[in-house]
Structure formats: structure tokens, C-alpha cells
Amino acid sequence: MTPRARAWAEGGVALLSGVIFALGLAVSGMTRAEKVVGFLNFFRGWDPSLMFVMGGAIAVHAVAWRLIKRRPSPLFSARFLVPTRRDLDARLLIGAAIFGVGWGLGGFCPGPGLASLVTGTPTALAFMVAMLVGSFGASKAEPAITRALQRT
């Protein structure tokens, strides 16, 4: 396969994966902020239904991972891109905490927020704009954050 054909194949697989993921988010209700907040709020009308979404995703991934591990390489790439770092550093923990607070307050994380844009929901649009502004701000503040974390 030529490099150009490989790039198109990778892009096509990525597009198909994204569409399937977005459909799964929509069908499961994860594109509705109130559904997610209902799951994250244990004290007022907790809605445990999204546990089944996570459980289903974990089950599919577990089966797929076992099948994929047997292959020498991906279909359209030279090698698998598997994370190798296993340490928990301050940057990861702080980022995870900020992500969790944003998810809890907004009811969206990036995937469902992007998928929700299709519906034209003002809340999803506001979330995505805020996320992009926050990402831009974080990229500008990153050198100072890195220096501060290295001093600790």
C-alpha cells in the first residue's frame, strides 16, 4: 500500500470510528448534560444507568484488545501506538482533577460535547467554546506550569 493510500485508509478508519463513537454517545444519553450530571450527583436522584454504558465500553474493549494483541501490526499502520508510561505524576493528577470538575459542572466531556454540537444545543456550544478557550489558555500557561511542577 502506498503512503498516500495508507493515509487515506487511516483517515477513513478514524472517521468511521468517530461516527460509531458519536452514535453510541447519542444513543446512550451521554450527549445530554442532565443525564451525565444525574449520574455524577450521588445525593439528588442518582441515575446509575451510565454505569452500563461504561461497562459495555469496557467489555467491548477487553474483547477487542485480546484479538488485536494477536496481530503483528495494525491494518493501516506500521506499529501499535500503546502508552508505555505507568507513573502518576502531579501533572496527570491535576489534569484529571480539572477534567473531573469540568465534567461535573458542565455535564460534558470533550467527546460528548463535540457529538452534541450536531443537535445545536446551546449548552453544548457554550461548553465547546469554553473548552477551546481553556485549552488555548492552558497551552499558553504550560511553560510556567511545567516549571512550577518541576520545582515541587
Give me the number of domains the chain comprises.
Answer: 1
Q: What cell numbers appear for 57 in the block?
A: 465500553
- State pLDDT tens for residues 3-55: 898 889 889 999 999 999 889 888 888 888 888 888 888 888 899 998 998 89
pLDDT of the residue at 146: 82
- 64 in a domain, yes or no? yes
- 82 in a domain, yes or no? no
Whether the model clears a pTM of 0.85, i.e. scores above it, the answer is no
Domain span including residue 40? 3-77+87-151
- Per DSSP, helices labelled H in the chain are 3-28, 33-40, 50-69, 90-106, 110-116, 122-151
Does position 103 have pLDDT exceeding 90, yes or no? no
